[in-house]
Amino acid sequence: MLEIIVTVDLTTGAISNKEISSGSRGLYGRGLALDLLKETVPEEAGRFSPGNAVVLVPGLFVGNPAPSACRIMMATCEGASGGMQICNMTGNLAQKLGSIGVAGLVIKGKAKEPGTVVHIDKTGVSIYCDKTLNGLRTSDIIGKLKERYERDSAIIGIGIAGDMMLPLSSVFCTYPDGDPEYHVPRNGFGDVWGAKNLRAVVVESEGYFGRTCKDPERFSKASKRLAGIIVNDEICGSALPTYGSITIMRILEGGEGIRTSPEVKRISEKDRLQDKAGCSRRINRNCAPMCVIGCLNRHAASKGRRYSSPAQVETQAAIENCFGVDDYELARRVQEKASEIGLVATEFVTSANAYARATGSENAQENLLDWLDELAAGSLTGRVIASRTHGVAELYKDIELDNWMDVSAAQEEGSFDIRMGEKYPSLDGLTALELLYAQIFVLENLGFCIFTSFALLDNAEAFDILAEMFESRTGIKMDAETLIGEARECIRRERAYKERRWMAGQKSNIPPFTRVLYRYFGKREEVCND
């Protein structure tokens, strides 16, 4: 299926398109994102170099009527010696981009001034600078852009923190027009957007499911079977939309059954609607159309509290874990204020905790809102906290902060005995952990919400359906083993890319004296050859 890759050069203003056969030879998902980075970014380019790029790739099924397939991958290069950094995001951008036939968007170069906007619709792409967007809160940026374009436009961009290129900064990404309006994902590398003077990307399309499909009827039938597997799963279909991700993690860690845990109380749909009584805007239950899980305005927890999104629950859990304070109102205000600056609230809380430990601040939770103001103002204190936990630890090397550092999920893999029941003959050499990662990559490549993992991973029936959907979407013959094998190839290629860029980066660290050695050994070689 032919789709286009759009490349925008912010330095020159040039815009170009090229056609690709989406889905063939791994040209989808993370594999496509990696190819676009390799084609665009010089090996010596640093993180904030104009030569670095931001790449946006909707999952292969996004823009087609697939259940909970609403994810887009945003990629960039970590730094001069780093590999590909990737952020898996939800919202309405992915489906709208896919619906106008864009399989990938590459943004490179650096605009002359902050406030630069890239606008995309079915008629083409335009670039312009709007200085009135600078210095605004996230919601105000979105509001001004929606005044200019349609209310249901998809918008991704940065706020104040990104402008300052703070390590803690992320992007914001809108939901369909309603309440809540947007979210701020982890690993959003807003600092790279700031380095490019890029304010936002706006995408307009008439609908969400206009992406080409080889056999729409077959794809639709397979999608319905897959949706049945997801909604009938006790976690995806019941626990997640009712209890929230953090509560489920606590229950699973405690060894309790999801359905029998006394910690949580189910909320009826009637109660959910009453929670938003008087709200003039449409209430978002899902982060994007066709999500069959629905994690917005559905979360319940103990003490009768209600949360509009998983992020609110996670922020409260972070404050309680870091400061031992169970304060619903504080968590709500921290979450909202951090988002308006362009930060992930949970990461701000853990970084603020590390700073409090390093400086000996007492009752530090009382300073959280003030520290967010410091961060927005670009003060020294704000910039230290915005350097993430590892930045704080680097500044205070003489203080033991290891127990308060953010760690990647992969660092915990050795603590668990991973077991996968389904077997694939051609993948016999894989460990259970490797198979788990490969299946996760399959879901990412196709554009599925990570929460569907509970229902789809290690499920042979589900992966056979995914292969059928792939075949009906692209016209390319596919089976579950090949699908998993292509995901394994994605993992291998990402590792190889990181190693190659690391090797390229080492050239700049070779001491100047080496030039003498070049001459010495060069002459010696010439003598030996004679």
**160 and 251 in a common domain:** no
pLDDT at 285 exceeding the cut of 90:
no
Domain that holds residue 295: 242-404
**287 and 186 in a common domain:** no
**148 and 24 in a common domain:** yes
Given this model, what pLDDT does residue 419 score?
A: 82
Tally of CA atoms within 13 A in the half-sphere of 326 that contains its CB: 4
**85 and 169 in a common domain:** yes
Percent of the chain's residues with pLDDT above 90: 67
| Residue matched to tokens 């090797």 | 503
Percent of the chain's residues with pLDDT above 70: 85
Categorize the per-residue pLDDT at 231 as very low, low, confident or very high, splitting at 50, 70 and 90: very high
Model pLDDT for residues 418-464, shown as the tens digit of each residue: 888 888 888 888 898 999 999 999 999 999 999 999 999 999 999 99
Answer yes or no: is 61 within a domain.
Answer: yes
Residue at 255: amino acid letter: G
Judge whether 112 and 129 are in contact, CB under 8 Å.
Answer: yes
Q: Which residues, in sequence order, are CB contacts of 364 under 8 Å at separation 6+?
A: 323, 352, 353, 356
**126 and 7 in a common domain:** yes
Categorize the per-residue pLDDT at 262 as very low, low, confident or very high, splitting at 50, 70 and 90: very low
Average pLDDT, the chain: 88
Model pLDDT for residues 353-362, shown as the tens digit of each residue: 999 999 999 8
- Cα dist from 413 to 278, 431, 438, 445, whole Å: 46, 13, 15, 22
Q: Which two tokens stand for residue 157?
A: 């961009």
pLDDT at 257 exceeding the cut of 70:
no
Model pLDDT for residues 121-149, shown as the tens digit of each residue: 999 999 999 999 999 999 999 999 999 99
**166 and 58 in a common domain:** yes
**252 and 314 in a common domain:** yes
Q: Which two tokens stand for residue 373?
A: 């103001």
DSSP 3-state percent helix, strand, coil across the chain (nearest 5): 50, 15, 35
**162 and 27 in a common domain:** yes
pLDDT at 401 exceeding the cut of 50:
yes
Write the DSSP symbol of residue 43. T
Categorize the per-residue pLDDT at 271 as very low, low, confident or very high, splitting at 50, 70 and 90: very low
pTM over 0.75: yes
Answer yes or no: is 458 within a domain.
Answer: no
Nearest Cα to 11, choosing from 134, 113, 142, 102? 113
